[in-house]
């Protein structure tokens, strides 16, 4: 005989405060060590940085205690630590470029500014969004916003073509990557759409060769969304983002339907665009060559970036050169696309693996919230957001270490780039909100439902 | 600052990163929550949640007053036999999904199999498009039908009876 037991999660707010403090301290320590390692003296703005970090963690802690008192205690500290290490590594790149080359680089300051913006937006979201299920009401609005955001770089007067990709827009002098925000919108859309269709997607439809195929009427809109994403991103020639959206799409379908057949269908759907891109698009063909054989004599010059990245990783070795001791200026885009080589060169394999562990823990917490949450929409959204983070880390680190062909994605929280950082903070706020819902004890859940959303759509009746 | 101090600080940084990871892992190790299906008869878990009702005072008075008539769902057959679920005024979802009020450990039940809800002073049972159907007193139901006290609903291998009486 079996019985069902419920465990209540403990809020652990004090532990979160402690972890936030340690995370901020480690970030500031890394920043200080970068100055000590490169110039032999503490950075001039160390005091400002410390105070800024202190203010941000106090704001985060208060916001969580006030608005999400049962939230997961480790999500925000991990975000703060990754962000802090990222700023330190970018400052290392800056100082190396300023010291060893004639170019002047100033990316760390911008990153600090964007961190502030990201944290403020995350806190605002925690206050504005009392219940993640409110997002489900706007499923189709998010679909349209995601589509518009993805289309924006194709608009002639907004576009800002850089490095062969039309994924940037330029508003009032600031470059922005709308695909980052679109990622969140599309995740919400998929979650809202799939939660109402998952039973028909999983059960109705013909069975071919032991694989349950969906009905065309269920499949159509999703296929449309997929084709839309892929088509736009091929026109914008950014395959990393296309891969990210496609992975999100397949993962969320799998979570929604619990059918392995979707992974098979996903792989089948992915092959034609991949083969097309690898054979017909010149720059993708180069990526493939550089993946398989970057160090040979004939490929060496065309694969310079990945080669330099590999030399950086080798220079770091097991223990690393210490913060401020590496030469990240030797690697093109050592502050953004190739921040991982900067990190691995300066902290070594041991430090880089610690950072990868942090990512794994963050993703695990997202998936844990997805399992614990009591509504299907929350499950799908948390799983989708967690999966996107994991996929980004895999694609970036895998590309740099030659596990897969290199594609241009950003490493969450580490890479320099305002849009990516701000969107990752928004994702973190959503995860905090959902983990709060997942861990809230049952009695309080009733109270919150009664007061927060009186006309919540009846989950049971749908 | 001397080379040695910097070296010590560098080692401290990497150690600190790993200690942070270990601290998080230790926190997560003690961080069990959610619903889980366990074998009955094993030792009762001290951390088992006492699910409080929305209003503790009202629940207490209901529990002690013998004149109050309460309606309950009683599982009479299947893996969960013996389980009782007192009905309040809110709908009850029955199925295998963890979000259900009555979570069945029954391979023949759907994730969200059936719903029991009050309507005009009587209880109704509704099939939620389950794979194997819901049977009320031996006949498969379509849509919502009244669920009278004493009637038996069969979901997969589970039989559920509606009982009315003093506590």
Provide the pLDDT for residue A448: 47
Provide the pLDDT for residue B34: 67
Q: Does residue B42 form part of some domain? A: no
Q: Does residue B43 form part of some domain? A: no
Q: Does residue B55 form part of some domain? A: no
Q: Could A347 and B1 be called an inter-chain contact, meaning their C-beta atoms sit closer than 8 Å?
A: no
Give the residue on A whose Cα is nearest the Cα of B106.
Answer: A2
Share of chain B above pLDDT 70, in %: 76
Q: What's the domain count of chain B? A: 2
Residue B113, helix vs strand vs coil: coil
Average pLDDT for residues B29-53, to the nearest whole number? 59
- What are the helix (H) ranges across A44-74? 46-67
Q: Residue A429 — pLDDT band, cuts 50, 70, 90?
A: very high
Cα A25–A124–A169 angle (5° rounding)? 90
> What's the rounded Cα separation, in Å, for the pair A123 and A117?
10
Tens digits of per-residue pLDDT, B78-88?
Answer: 877 777 788 87
Q: How far is B11 from chain A (nearest CA, A)?
A: 9
Kindly state whether residues B29 and B76 are assigned to the same domain. Answer: no
| Those residues with Cβ within 8 angstroms of residue A20's Cβ, 6 or more apart along the chain or in another chain | A57, A60, A61, A76, A77, A80
Q: Could B34 and A7 be called an inter-chain contact, meaning their C-beta atoms sit closer than 8 Å?
A: yes
> What's the rounded Cα separation, in Å, for the pair A399 and A393?
10
Q: How far is B12 from chain A (nearest CA, A)?
A: 9
Interface of B with A in 54-113 (CB under 8 A): 54, 79-83, 91, 93, 98-99, 103, 105
> What's the rounded Cα separation, in Å, for the pair A177 and A169?
6
Sorted by where each begins, the domain ranges of chain A are: 2-459
Who wins on pLDDT, A374 or A423? A423
Strands (E), chain B: 34-39, 69-77, 84-87, 92-95, 102-103, 114-119, 122-127, 134-136, 139-140, 144-146, 152-155, 158-166
Interface of A with B in 379-398 (CB under 8 A): none
> What's the rounded Cα separation, in Å, for the pair B113 and B80?
15
Backbone angles phi, psi at A350, to 5 degrees: -65, -45
Q: Could A361 and B24 be called an inter-chain contact, meaning their C-beta atoms sit closer than 8 Å?
A: yes
> What's the rounded Cα separation, in Å, for the pair B21 and A355?
9
Spatial contact of A119 and A87, defined as CB atoms under 8 Å apart: no
pLDDT surpassing 80 at residue A86: yes
Range of lowest pLDDT (A132-146, A282-296, A384-398, A438-452): A438-452
Q: Which domain holds residue B135?
A: 71-164
Tens digits of per-residue pLDDT, A298-353?
Answer: 888 888 889 999 999 999 989 888 898 889 988 888 888 899 999 999 999 999 99
Kindly state whether residues B145 and B89 are assigned to the same domain. Answer: yes
Backbone angles phi, psi at B104, to 5 degrees: -90, 140
Q: Could B99 and A33 be called an inter-chain contact, meaning their C-beta atoms sit closer than 8 Å?
A: no
Q: Could A439 and B33 be called an inter-chain contact, meaning their C-beta atoms sit closer than 8 Å?
A: yes
Kindly state whether residues B12 and B80 are assigned to the same domain. Answer: no
Residue B114, helix vs strand vs coil: strand
pLDDT surpassing 50 at residue A459: no
Q: How far is A8 from chain B (nearest CA, A)?
A: 5
Structure tokens at B67: 């004149």
pLDDT surpassing 70 at residue B44: no
Kindly state whether residues B30 and B76 are assigned to the same domain. Answer: no
| Those residues with Cβ within 8 angstroms of residue A56's Cβ, 6 or more apart along the chain or in another chain | A24, A80, A115, A116, A119
Provide the pLDDT for residue B36: 66
Kindly state whether residues B139 and B90 are assigned to the same domain. Answer: yes
Q: Could B24 and A78 be called an inter-chain contact, meaning their C-beta atoms sit closer than 8 Å?
A: yes
Give the residue on B whose Cα is nearest the Cα of A323.
Answer: B10
Kindly state whether residues B27 and B85 are assigned to the same domain. Answer: no
Contact status of B4 with chain A (Cβ, < 8 Å): no
Contact status of B48 with chain A (Cβ, < 8 Å): yes
Kindly state whether residues B156 and B75 are assigned to the same domain. Answer: yes
Structure tokens at A417: 């780039």
Q: Residue B41 — pLDDT band, cuts 50, 70, 90?
A: low
> What's the rounded Cα separation, in Å, for the pair B116 and B88?
11
Q: Does residue B96 form part of some domain? A: yes
């Amino acid at each position: 005989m079996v019985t069902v037991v419920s465990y209540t999660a403990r809020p652990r707010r004090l532990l979160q405060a402690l972890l936030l403090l340690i995370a901020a301290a480690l970030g500031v320590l890394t920043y200080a060590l970068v100055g000590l390692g490169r110039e032999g003296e503490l950075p001039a703005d160390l005091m400002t940085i410390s105070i800024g970090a202190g203010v941000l963690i106090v704001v985060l802690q208060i916001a969580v205690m006030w608005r999400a008192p049962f939230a997961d205690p480790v999500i925000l500290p991990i975000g703060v630590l990754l962000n802090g290490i990222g700023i330190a590594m970018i400052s290392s790149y800056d100082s190396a470029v300023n010291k060893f080359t004639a170019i002047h680089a100033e990316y760390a300051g911008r990153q600090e500014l964007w961190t502030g913006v990201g944290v403020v937006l995350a806190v605002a979201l925690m206050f504005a969004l009392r219940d993640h299920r409110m997002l489900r009401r706007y499923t189709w609005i998010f679909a349209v916003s995601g589509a518009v955001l993805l289309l924006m770089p194709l608009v002639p007067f907004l576009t800002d073509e850089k490095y062969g990709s039309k994924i940037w827009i330029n508003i009032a002098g600031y470059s922005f990557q709308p695909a980052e925000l679109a990622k969140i919108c599309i995740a919400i859309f998929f979650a809202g759409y799939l939660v109402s269709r998952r039973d028909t997607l999983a059960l109705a439809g013909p069975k071919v060769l032991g694989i349950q195929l969906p009905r065309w009427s269920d499949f159509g809109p999703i296929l449309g969304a997929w084709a839309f994403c892929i088509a736009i991103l091929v026109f914008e020639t950014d395959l990393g983002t296309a891969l990210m959206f496609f992975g999100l799409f397949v993962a969320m379908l799998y979570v929604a339907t619990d059918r392995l057949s979707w992974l098979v269908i996903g792989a089948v759907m992915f092959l034609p665009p991949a083969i097309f891109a690898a054979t017909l698009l010149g720059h993708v063909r180069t990526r493939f060559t550089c993946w398989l054989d970057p160090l040979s004599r004939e490929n060496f010059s065309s694969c310079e970036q990945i080669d330099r990245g590999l030399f950086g990783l080798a220079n770091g070795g097991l223990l690393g050169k210490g913060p401020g001791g590496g030469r990240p200026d030797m690697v093109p885009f050592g502050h953004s696309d190739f921040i991982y080589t900067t990190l691995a060169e300066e902290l070594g394999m041991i430090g880089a693996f610690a950072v990868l562990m942090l990512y794994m823990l963050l993703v695990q917490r997202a998936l844990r919230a997805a399992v614990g949450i009591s509504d299907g929409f929350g499950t799908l959204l948390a799983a989708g957001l967690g999966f996107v983070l994991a996929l980004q880390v895999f694609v970036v680190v895998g590309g740099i270490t030659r596990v897969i062909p290199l594609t241009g994605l950003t490493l969450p929280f580490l890479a320099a780039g305002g849009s990516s950082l701000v969107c990752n903070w928004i994702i973190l706020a959503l995860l905090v909100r959902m983990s709060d819902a997942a861990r809230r004890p049952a009695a309080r859940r009733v109270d919150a439902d009664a007061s927060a959303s009186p006309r919540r759509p009846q989950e049971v009746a749908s | 600052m001397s080379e040695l101090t910097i070296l010590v600080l560098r080692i401290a940084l990497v150690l600190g990163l790993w200690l942070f990871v270990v601290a998080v892992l230790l926190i997560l190790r003690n961080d069990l929550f959610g619903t889980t299906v366990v074998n009955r008869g094993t030792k009762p878990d001290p951390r088992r949640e006492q699910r409080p009702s929305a209003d503790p005072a009202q629940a207490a008075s209901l529990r002690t007053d013998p004149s109050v008539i309460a309606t309950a769902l009683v599982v009479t057959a299947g893996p969960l036999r013996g389980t009782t679920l007192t009905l309040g005024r809110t709908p009850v979802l029955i199925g295998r999904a963890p979000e259900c009020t009555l979570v069945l450990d029954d391979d023949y039940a759907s994730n969200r199999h059936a719903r029991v809800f009050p309507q005009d002073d009587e209880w109704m049972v509704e099939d939620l498009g389950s794979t194997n159907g819901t049977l009320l007193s031996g006949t498969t139901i379509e849509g919502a039908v009244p669920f009278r006290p004493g009637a038996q609903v069969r979901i997969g291998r589970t039989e559920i009876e509606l009982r009315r009486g003093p506590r």
